[in-house]
Amino acid sequence: MDRGTLIGLLLGLGLLALAISMGPNPRIFLYPEAMIVVIGGIIASTLIRFPLSNVRSAFAVASRAFLTHPATPQQTVNELVALSQRARRDGFLGLEDHLPTDSFMKQGIQMVVDGVGRDHISDLLTQEMYSTQERHSLGQEIFRFIATAAPSFGMVGTLIGMVHLFVSLKDPSGIGHGMALSLLSTLYGAVIAYLLALPISGKLDLRSREELQTKRLILEGILGIKDEMNPSQLEEQLNASLAPRYKTRRPGPSRG
Amino acid sequence: MDRGTLIGLLLGLGLLALAISMGPNPRIFLYPEAMIVVIGGIIASTLIRFPLSNVRSAFAVASRAFLTHPATPQQTVNELVALSQRARRDGFLGLEDHLPTDSFMKQGIQMVVDGVGRDHISDLLTQEMYSTQERHSLGQEIFRFIATAAPSFGMVGTLIGMVHLFVSLKDPSGIGHGMALSLLSTLYGAVIAYLLALPISGKLDLRSREELQTKRLILEGILGIKDEMNPSQLEEQLNASLAPRYKTRRPGPSRG
Amino acid sequence: MDRGTLIGLLLGLGLLALAISMGPNPRIFLYPEAMIVVIGGIIASTLIRFPLSNVRSAFAVASRAFLTHPATPQQTVNELVALSQRARRDGFLGLEDHLPTDSFMKQGIQMVVDGVGRDHISDLLTQEMYSTQERHSLGQEIFRFIATAAPSFGMVGTLIGMVHLFVSLKDPSGIGHGMALSLLSTLYGAVIAYLLALPISGKLDLRSREELQTKRLILEGILGIKDEMNPSQLEEQLNASLAPRYKTRRPGPSRG
Amino acid sequence: MDRGTLIGLLLGLGLLALAISMGPNPRIFLYPEAMIVVIGGIIASTLIRFPLSNVRSAFAVASRAFLTHPATPQQTVNELVALSQRARRDGFLGLEDHLPTDSFMKQGIQMVVDGVGRDHISDLLTQEMYSTQERHSLGQEIFRFIATAAPSFGMVGTLIGMVHLFVSLKDPSGIGHGMALSLLSTLYGAVIAYLLALPISGKLDLRSREELQTKRLILEGILGIKDEMNPSQLEEQLNASLAPRYKTRRPGPSRG
Amino acid sequence: MDRGTLIGLLLGLGLLALAISMGPNPRIFLYPEAMIVVIGGIIASTLIRFPLSNVRSAFAVASRAFLTHPATPQQTVNELVALSQRARRDGFLGLEDHLPTDSFMKQGIQMVVDGVGRDHISDLLTQEMYSTQERHSLGQEIFRFIATAAPSFGMVGTLIGMVHLFVSLKDPSGIGHGMALSLLSTLYGAVIAYLLALPISGKLDLRSREELQTKRLILEGILGIKDEMNPSQLEEQLNASLAPRYKTRRPGPSRG
């Protein structure tokens, strides 16, 4: 799992647990009625807002984004250059025994092996790239929607709780307990929104931009291999389209 | 009805009913005075904000969007290709006995049958497309306005209730009941905004984009039929303008 | 007066009156001190924000927009075509006895009658069009500013009321009445913002876009008349620039 | 001073004073501790946010904008045309005895008198124009920042006051007075933001746009004088770049 | 350290300390439990939102931005012109003994000394420029995120505190103290957001724009030196790309 996300989640939830456990009655913080309203309201409004299929795929994308380690641009360049060298030596068919693990790169190399035309490879990988992109941006949109919905349904739960409380107000001694319970909905909503949904939506955005760049790099590399480009030329070209800090080689001094 | 929307609505309202029924006096949650202020205020401000005719058509569009199942792009392509094959076999007049059910496609095919000129067909369908688009975007705007107005009038209702409450404050025993009632306006406003208006406005947006894409596809298909294009060529062309995952055929490997 | 706006205003104010009258002491809702702070604060901040002359003209534009019925695009096209026919029959001078009521169209026709050059007509009407546009957009801006200022000064009034209340707190029995009064400022601010200023600003925007379209149509028609265009050609051309549902004739089927 | 701003400020502050004086103890509204937190917090955060030099120049620009009456475009055109006529009659050197009062126009005319090259005049005045523009937009930004900071530090002050209050809660009789005092911070923040900073920022924006237009006009006029353009031609050209309502002459009818 | 920032920080924190010390029990304002929730929540959500490496580099960039005094554009121009004169006199190798202190300029001069080709110098410095820019904009983004997260976790802390308080409500005498403590979280969140994170994010933006301009200037100067441009020509060219007020010389009058 992505280290920063994991540390952040553990830290955040741990500190909440610590702060809660300092109180006289930590158990009260688990309040099923409030959870029903807040989590149920978020799910219900998300289902109304987004098509069912999108919600499913968004969560799949999000968990994949956090559970897998994307290759760095350098690793990607190195792998593509190595494939290009092998293709030079053994021909395209020689690539079949060393298919890469990244599914996008594998798909491209397989098409090179199968002798699919250059334009078809380019079209298919571009389409694949954009539909990944589309799924990712939908994922961010869903988490951003949740970040808006969570405090709203927190408020709805608190309002329901307070109406219950005020209506049944016989003896003032019960007001404290009732008020505590009704505030829990707001607390749940705030934690879901600000500790989970909002930061996750932001990180998905970063991840998605990274992945798009990597896929662009792979597409360029696959086409270079298909074109039987010289491996060191290919490396130079791939480097040229990288952000500076990711380059695998830095240009040395040359008398100009 | 659109399944996700239906499930979401039932789930959301069901959970609210459940949470409400857990309290000592669920009946109190139906409070006509608060409904008058919140729902009345929303209607009044919407009438001031939007022309009467727009409001009517927006609700018509919205309910149609949720009650009908739009054809998938694949179904649309298949239907257009079938029509094209029939036109090849039986001539344009042969299409008259098999008019499609989709009203936009039907309108186009009818014009082909009637021998209307290509440019007129294109103009009329394009205009039809844009006026649908316009109605849809107005619909979203109205629901977004409602999502803003609902919490505002919830607050207005609560303020009126609290003034009533404080003014008539003889014995403190009544404060609980009065406070409960005045909070209900805020609750109504929040539920209308966050469970209904906001997610519906978002889904209308998605639907409207889908429908525009389908209508573009139909327009392209109708013109292809009018041009007596080869059915398999037509299919290829329609596929080319589809998002990848909607293609009815994938290009196979070809030695390039 | 614009029907939707009128109905909305009456409905909104009526429902508020109804909700208020349900309480034990409706009279308390008229609280001059709170009105002074809220309405005075709105006026003061608007005067600081906008030049005096703009504020005056904005209210003039707004009341005109709500009190006059704009002609539909069809009526406008029909009127222009009729003028064009008359010009054909009786010459430009024959138009002088049948000047249109719309002041913009009248101004244009008068220039045609006076023999003003085509470019001057076009320049002057375009300038007129844009300065109307500018006045309108300023009007919307002012109402949008009021929609922001009203809740703010509602809060200011409530804060002043609550300080008064807490300071003079001798006997707790007075707290209810004092609290009720201080909440009224917030209520006034909310009603002014959400029932009046915000929806009016939105409708001014719609009106202004409609009026701009009508003025464009008139400009095109006046220039067509000046150019002694064939009336039926003129109608066709004006229709072509209309949104589809406003066309005065629909193109019939033609063998193409 | 700008009349609308002055009236607005006096009206706003007067009404606040009136509303305050209606209470039992108007003196309590001057609460130095709250002022320290709110005004001090605004100053401190503004110093962190903006470079010292910018803050100083922003207030200078703002006070200048409110204390001086800008010339109307007509006056500016008339003055430039008069200068152009004098230059025709007496030569450039004759302008020296009648330098205009506006510092920007004076700077330009002085350069014409000194025989500075056309391009240098144009460059220098354009640079002057843009650095004025930059100072103005910084001024708006600072006032907009203050409008955000003021309610925030109002809240900070109220929170500090409430903590003090709750902590020292011995006898409930003191709660009213303490609460009143702590609410004053919020009141100060709201008045500074909504009566002062927000409207002033908006008016600076309008002023700055006006001034830019005037400076553009002056630049054009100065270059026309430098080019020894015919005065009536110059007037026509300057008019052409004015918004219609500011023109000094309207084109008369001409047979076209 | 940047003077305005330092003064603002000291002023802001000093005034807060003053306001706090006026209360009966200033010590209560240091409440570790609330700090854990607020500061811990900010750190946790920032770690989820941004990659670990970015957070580290953002704080490094921010502290560097506040602790170092950037050279003024004039100083930069003067230094570049001096370097250019020395290069004229002593050749490129003569520059080696007088490498500038600014690391960006030093990097460029070193490459000139080493005889690196013009295009490589330009590429490398441009890349360096953009990666600095990227780090800076990430820094602003992180501080803006903190400004959003701080009040949210302030609210979370207050909610936890209030639930604790209401639950353990035995005797009403403890409510004051408990309430005071729970409000402290909101206070911490507000101070972190409005006194620190928001203004710092804004100033980082200004700083980053300044630094980019300086680096552009240096790049231009280095290339001029590499091209063995005449020093006074170089100064003129560098001045031409400066904002007017930063020019090291103003063009004098010239007969045109």
Mean pLDDT estimate for chain C: 85
Whose CA is closest to E71, among E205, E214, E203, E204? E214
- Taking contacts as CB-CB distances below 8 angstroms, the residues of chain B near A119 are 256
Q: Which of A52, A149, A160 is the closest to B20 by Cβ?
A: A160
- Alpha carbon distance, N-terminus to C-terminus of chain B: 48
Residue E246 pLDDT: 52
What distances in angstroms separate CA D121 from CA C180, D96, D109, D124, D229, one per listed residue?
66, 16, 9, 5, 16
Q: Half-sphere exposure (CA, 13 Å, Cβ side) for A151?
A: 15
DSSP assignment letter at E92: G
Most confident listed range (A97-101, C215-219, D19-23): C215-219
Q: For residues E19 and A190, which has the higher predicted lDDT (pLDDT)?
A: A190
List the structure tokens of E72. Answer: 């003024």
Question: 0.95 exceeded by the pTM?
Answer: no
Tracing tokens 């007049």 back to the chain, one arrives at B93
Classify residue A211 as left (phi > 0), alpha (psi -120 to 50) or beta.
alpha
Q: Give the confidence band of D251 by pLDDT, cuts at 50, 70, 90.
A: very low
Angle between helix A175-191 and A118-167 (nearest 10)? 170
- pLDDT of residue C253 exceeding 60: no
Closest CA–CA distance from residue E254 to any residue of chain D (Å) = 5
Sequence-separated (6 or more) residues with CB below 8 Å from residue B73:
B213, B214, B217, B242, B243, B246
Q: Facing residues of B116 across strands? A: C255
Tokens 């889904």 correspond to B203
A140 CA to chain E: closest CA distance, Å?
12
Q: Which residues of E touch D164 (CB under 8 A)?
A: 22-25
Task: Say if residues C79 and C100 touch (Cβ distance below 8 Å).
Answer: yes
pLDDT digits (tens, 9 = 90+) for C131-183: 888 888 888 999 999 999 999 999 999 999 998 888 776 666 667 778 888 89
Asked if the Cβ–Cβ distance from A33 to B20 is below 8 Å, we say: no
Q: At what angle do helices C3-21 and B52-67 cross, to 10 degrees?
A: 80
Note the pLDDT tens digit of each residue in A16-31: 999 888 877 888 888 8
Interface-testing mutation among E3, E10, E11, with chain D (most D C-beta atoms within 10 A): E11
Q: Which residues in chain C are contacts of B36 at CB distance < 8 A? A: 15, 18-19
User: In whole angstroms, what is the distance from residue E32 CA to residue E40 CA?
Assistant: 11
DSSP calls for chain B? --HHHHHHHHHHHHHHHHHHHTSS-GGGG--HHHHHHHHHHHHHHHHHHS-HHHHHHHHHHHHHHHHS-PPPHHHHHHHHHHHHHHHHHH-GGGGGGG--SSHHHHHHHHHHHTTB-HHHHHHHHHHHHHHHHHHHHHHHHHHHHHHHHHHHHHHHHHHHHHHHHHHT-SSGGGHHHHHHHHHHHHHHHHHIIIIIIHHHHHHHHHHHHHHHHHHHHHHHHHHHHHTT--HHHHHHHHHHTS-GGG-SSPPPP-B-
For residue E80, pLDDT beyond 80 = yes
pLDDT of residue D105: 92
Mean pLDDT of A30-36: 88
pLDDT digits (tens, 9 = 90+) for E31-69: 888 899 999 999 999 999 998 888 888 788 778 777 777
Contact in structure between D57 and D138 (CB atoms under 8 Å): yes
**Predicted confidence (pLDDT) at residue D249 exceeds the cutoff of 70:** no
Site from D45, D134, D227 to mutate, E interface, most E CB atoms within 10 angstroms: D45
Per-residue pLDDT at B254: 40
What is the Cβ-side half-sphere exposure of residue D154, based on CA atoms within 13 angstroms? 21
Answer whether A159's CB lies under 8 Å from A142's CB: no
- pLDDT class for C99, splitting at 50, 70, 90? confident
Confidence of residue A251 (pLDDT cuts 50, 70, 90): very low
pLDDT at A40 over 50: yes
Contacts of C37 in chain D (CB under 8 A): 15-16, 19
E92 vs chain D: nearest CA distance in angstroms?
Answer: 35
The DSSP symbol for D72 reads: P
The shortest C-alpha distance from D87 to chain E (Å) reads: 17
C26-58 burial code (b ≥16 CB/10 A, e <16): eebbebebbebbbbbbbbbbbbbbbbeebbebb
Q: Which residues pair with C116 in a beta bridge?
A: D255
Residue C250 pLDDT exceeds 50: no
Contacts of A3 in chain E (CB under 8 A): 52
Rounded to an integer, what distance in angstroms lies between the CA atom of residue E133 and that of residue D51? 20
Residue A150 is predicted with a pLDDT of: 96
Task: Tell me the two tokens of residue E101.
Answer: 């202190």
Residue C254's pLDDT band, with cuts at 50, 70 and 90, is: very low
Quote the Cα angle for C129-C130-C131, to 5°.
95
**What value does the mean pLDDT of chain A take?**
85
Determine the distance from the C-alpha atom of residue D215 to the mean position of all C-alpha atoms in its chain, rounded to a whole number. 15
Q: Do C37 and D29 touch (CB under 8 A)?
A: no
Q: Write out the DSSP string of C180-224.
A: HHHHHHHHHHHHIIIIIIHHHHHHHHHHHHHHHHHHHHHHHHHHH
Q: Which of the four pLDDT bands, split at 50, 70 and 90, describes residue D170?
A: low
Q: Measured between alpha carbons, how far is E56 from B128 in angstroms, rounded to an integer?
A: 56
Task: Report which DSSP code applies to D116.
Answer: B
- Closest to D50 in 3D by CA, of E15, E204, E191, E63: E204
How far is it, in rounded angstroms, from Cα B73 to Cα B242?
8
Provide the pLDDT for residue B59: 82
- Alpha-carbon gap, residue C94 to C91, rounded angstroms: 5
Indicate yes or no: CB of C253 within 8 angstroms of CB of B131.
no
The 3-class secondary structure across chain A, one letter per residue, is: CCHHHHHHHHHHHHHHHHHHHCCCCHHHHCCHHHHHHHHHHHHHHHHHHCCHHHHHHHHHHHHHHHHCCCCCHHHHHHHHHHHHHHHHHHCHHHHHHHCCCCHHHHHHHHHHHCCECHHHHHHHHHHHHHHHHHHHHHHHHHHHHHHHHHHHHHHHHHHHHHHHHHHCCCCHHHHHHHHHHHHHHHHHHHHHHHHHHHHHHHHHHHHHHHHHHHHHHHHHHHHHHHCCCCHHHHHHHHHHCCCHHHCCCCCCCCEC
- pLDDT value at residue A173: 63
> Residue E5: closest CA among chain D residues belongs to which residue?
D48
Which residue does chain D place closest to E199, by CA atoms?
A: D49
pLDDT tens, position by position, for chain B (256 residues)? 577 888 999 999 999 999 888 877 788 888 888 899 999 999 999 999 998 888 888 788 778 777 777 788 888 999 999 999 999 998 888 888 888 888 899 999 999 999 888 998 998 898 888 888 888 888 899 999 999 999 999 999 999 999 888 877 666 666 777 888 889 999 999 999 999 999 999 988 888 888 888 899 999 999 999 999 899 889 888 887 675 555 554 444 443 3
Within a 10 A sphere around the Cβ of C82, how many other Cβ atoms?
13
Distance CA C20, CA C28 (A): 9
Whether residue A248 has pLDDT greater than 70: no
In this predicted structure, the answer to whether residue D255 has a pLDDT above a threshold of 70 is no
What is the distance of C-alpha C130 from the center of its chain?
A: 16
Q: Which residues contact B96 (CB under 8 A, 6 or more apart)?
A: B110, B113
For B127, name the nearest residue in chain C, comparing CA atoms only. C244
Q: Is a pLDDT exceeding 90 seen at residue A63?
A: no
Among chain E residues, CA nearest to A245: E131
Query: What pLDDT score does A131 carry?
Result: 81
List, for residues E82-95, the tens digit of each pLDDT value: 999 999 998 888 88
Q: What is the pLDDT of residues E138-178, one digit of tens each?
A: 889 999 999 999 999 999 999 999 988 888 766 666 677 78
Q: Which residue of A has its CA nearest to E175?
A: A176
Q: Is the pLDDT of residue A175 over 90?
A: no
CB contact under 8 A, E194 and D45: yes
- Write out pLDDT tens, residues E122-133: 988 988 888 888
pLDDT in tens, D176-211: 778 888 899 999 999 999 999 999 999 888 888 888
What is the C-alpha to C-alpha distance for residues A75 and E96, in angstroms, rounded to an integer? 37
Cα D106 from Cα D97, distance rounded (Å): 11
Q: Cα–Cα distance between E159 and A181 in angstroms, integer?
A: 11
Over 50: is that where the pLDDT of C2 sits?
yes
E152, E37 in Cβ contact below 8 A?
Answer: no
Total CB pairs under 8 A between chain B and C? 154
Backbone angles phi, psi at D168, to 5 degrees: -90, 15
What angle (nearest 5°) sits at the alpha carbon of residue E39, between those of residues E34 and E45?
125
Percentage, residues of chain D above pLDDT 90: 38
E190-233 pLDDT per residue, tens? 999 999 999 999 988 888 888 888 899 999 999 999 999 899 88
Structure tokens at D149: 């900071």
Give residue-wise pLDDT tens across range D53-99.
888 887 887 787 777 777 888 889 999 999 999 999 988 888 888 88
All residues at 6 or more sequence positions from A84 whose CB lies less than 8 Å from its CB, including other chains = A221, A224, A225, A229, A231, A234
Chain center to CA of A31 = 30
Q: Residue B58 is encoded by which pair of tokens?
A: 């927006």
The yes-or-no verdict on residue D252 having pLDDT over 60 is no
Q: Tell me, what's the pLDDT at E27?
A: 85
- Beta-carbon separation of D193 and C124 below 8 A: no
Would the CB atoms of A163 and B29 count as touching at under 8 Å?
yes
Q: What is the mean pLDDT of residues A138-150?
A: 93
Nearest CA in chain C to B41: C12
CB-based touch D/C (3+ pairs, under 8 A) = yes
Residue with tokens 């629909």: C250
Residue E193 DSSP symbol: I
Residues with Cβ within 8 Å of D133's Cβ and at least 6 positions away in sequence, in order, are D208, D212
Per-residue pLDDT at C184? 94
Size of interface A-B (CB pairs under 8 A): 155
Place of tokens 């354009």: D126
Q: Identify all chain C residues contacting D199, using CB atoms and an 8 Å cutoff.
A: 45-46, 48-49
CB D40 within 8 A of CB D144: no
